């Protein structure tokens, strides 16, 4: 890149929804303004001068339908008066909206139209019942297919992917990998106080998973509800800055990570995946990001990948090239993606454990990598080996349609 770009001062709200003790669907809950403010103020608490922020970008997917509120850029100034009369806008790319907000901020700093950008990702989606929310979320796919799709559209899409995987590689074999992905997610979420499953105290997670067989009569054919990410309200924020931006904000390089590379690719939304048992766009995007960074997966200390469903976790392991097609289930079942494994993934729970406020997920992933690489992850902290100073995020929008991948490096 033509200049060095850094990320720092990450902050998350609680990922709110079923699983949190505080969540009560019968009581009025905070809205978009609350979450944007909480994430934004969490970032500003870590800098010395809010005036040094030149621009704000907000990633969001469907606030126009979940909350009947658009024009989210106008909420930046509610975070702090210093953001009044400065550039602010929102971006959308389904569940990759947060990742696209980060991309927009990186490009502004690269273009030298800003030295410091505040990026926020947010979604508040517990405003409707799950079945109605599924209809809203179906907008992440080609809505023409909604007429033929499952009532729970995206669970149906990834259920179909799982069905092909079962048929090709074996049901029990596949479910063993998906079970371990779920167990990892819950165990990691218990280490992060902001995670939606932080309060999960189930003694035998594997037995719970096995007790809930996929049932197409009550949900979808090939997944149970534990295979699915959460319906979540939440937001995350982080600063994107040049070296000069860090100086103006009063942030030490030791408290930042460097953006080693980024990539964003999009496939034709009107076409079905060429192979349901493969996440092609994730594979291509991650490979491009790694190539631009000049590294291999062997130099990654940790990865945050988009596990909207457990099958997506297995397929991502294969798409990243850790194993061949069909070997992802064994790789996960053997514990190789656990926090003590070869390549720790989703160390605060991922979408299944931490939660999935759709427009916020891409930013939350980067906040987690920033925490891990700077030693700020608290109880979830990994021991990052010196020879693996990099972290990667993979943020997917729709059914492997829009993908953003970032490679971050310890400074």
For 158-188, what is each residue's pLDDT tens digit?
Answer: 999 999 999 999 999 999 999 999 999 999 9
Residue 46 resides in a domain: yes
Residue 11 resides in a domain: yes
Cα 278–chain centre separation: 19
Q: Are 302 and 317 in contact (CB under 8 A)?
A: no
Task: Look up 356 and say whether it is catalytic.
Answer: yes
pLDDT given at position 115? 98
Q: Which two tokens stand for residue 15?
A: 């990922």
Residue 237 resides in a domain: yes
Q: What is the CATH number of the domain that holds 70?
A: 3.40.47.10
pLDDT (mean) for 24-48: 96
Domain total in the chain: 1
For 289-323, what is each residue's pLDDT tens digit?
Answer: 999 999 999 999 999 999 999 999 999 999 999 99
Q: Which two tokens stand for residue 102?
A: 């980060």
Instruction: Indicate if the pLDDT at residue 1 is higher than 90.
Output: no
Describe the strand order of the beta sheet including 55-59 as a list of residue ranges.
88-91, 55-59, 116-124, 233-241, 6-12, 256-266, 402-410, 390-397, 300-304
pLDDT given at position 325? 98
Distance from C-alpha of 74 to C-alpha of 70, rounded to nearest angstrom = 9
pLDDT (mean) for 320-329: 98
Q: How confident is the model at residue 145 (pLDDT cuts 50, 70, 90)?
A: confident
Q: Which two tokens stand for residue 208?
A: 């719970």
Q: Which residue has 């079942």 as its token pair?
A: 333
For 108-123, what is each residue's pLDDT tens digit?
Answer: 999 999 999 999 999 9
For 376-392, what is each residue's pLDDT tens digit?
Answer: 999 999 999 999 999 99
pLDDT given at position 147? 72
Residue 103 resides in a domain: yes
DSSP string of 176-207?
HHHHHHHHHHHHHHTT-TTSTTTT---S-HHH
pLDDT given at position 143? 87
* Cβ contacts of 369 within 8 Å, gap of 6 or more: 257, 302, 304, 391, 392, 393, 406, 408
Distance from C-alpha of 268 to C-alpha of 402, rounded to nearest angstrom = 9
Provide, rounded to the nearest whole percent, the portion of the chain with pLDDT above 90: 95
Cα 250–chain centre separation: 28
Residue 72 resides in a domain: yes
Residue 97 resides in a domain: yes
Active-site position among 80, 95, 150, 228:
95
Residue 408 resides in a domain: no
Active-site position among 80, 150, 306, 356:
356
Residue 81 resides in a domain: yes
pLDDT, the chain, mean: 97
DSSP string of 14-58?
--BSTTSTT--TTS----HHHHHHHHHHHHHTT-S-GGG--EEEE
Range of the domain at 98: 6-129+231-255
Helix (H) / strand (E) element for 119: namely strand 116-124
pLDDT given at position 130? 85
């Amino acid at each position: 890149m033509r200049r060095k770009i850094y990320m720092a001062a990450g902050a998350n709200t609680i990922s709110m929804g079923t699983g949190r003790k505080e969540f009560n669907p019968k009581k009025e809950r905070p809205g978009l303004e609350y979450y944007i403010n909480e994430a934004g103020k969490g970032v500003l608490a870590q800098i010395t001068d809010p005036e040094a922020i030149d621009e704000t970008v907000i990633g969001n997917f469907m606030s126009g339908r979940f909350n009947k509120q658009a024009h989210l850029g106008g909420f930046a100034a509610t975070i702090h008066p210093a953001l009044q009369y400065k550039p602010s806008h929102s971006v959308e790319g389904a569940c990759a909206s947060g990742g696209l907000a980060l991309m927009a901020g990186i490009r502004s700093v690269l273009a030298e139209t800003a030295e410091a950008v505040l990026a926020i990702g947010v979604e508040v989606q517990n405003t409707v019942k799950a079945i109605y929310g599924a209809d809203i979320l179906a907008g992440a796919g080609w809505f023409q297919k909604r007429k033929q799709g499952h009532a729970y559209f995206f669970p149906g899409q990834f259920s179909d992917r799982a069905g092909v995987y079962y048929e090709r590689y074996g049901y029990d074999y596949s479910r063993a990998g998906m079970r371990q992905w779920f167990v990892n997610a819950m165990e990691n979420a218990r280490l992060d106080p902001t995670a939606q499953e932080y309060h999960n105290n189930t003694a035998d997670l594997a037995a719970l998973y096995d007790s809930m067989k996929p049932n197409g009569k009550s949900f979808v054919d090939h997944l149970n509800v534990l295979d699915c990410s959460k319906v979540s309200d939440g937001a995350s924020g982080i600063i994107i800055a040049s070296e000069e931006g860090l100086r103006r904000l009063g942030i030490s390089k030791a408290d930042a990570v460097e953006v080693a590379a980024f990539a964003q690719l999009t496939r034709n939304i009107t076409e079905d995946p060429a192979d349901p048992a493969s996440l092609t766009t994730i594979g291509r995007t991650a490979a491009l990001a790694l190539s631009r960074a000049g590294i291999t997966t062997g130099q990654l200390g940790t990865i945050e990948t988009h596990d909207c469903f457990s099958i997506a976790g297995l397929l991502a392991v294969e798409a990243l090239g850790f194993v061949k097609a069909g070997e992802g289930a064994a790789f996960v079942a053997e514990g190789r993606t656990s926090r003590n494994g070869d390549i720790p993934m989703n160390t605060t729970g991922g979408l299944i454990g931490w939660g999935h406020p759709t427009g916020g997920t891409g930013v939350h992933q980067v906040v987690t990598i920033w925490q891990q690489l700077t030693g700020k992850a608290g109880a979830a902290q990994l021991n990052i080996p010196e020879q693996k100073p990099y972290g990667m995020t993979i943020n997917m929008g729709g059914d492997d349609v829009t993908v953003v991948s970032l490679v971050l490096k310890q400074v």
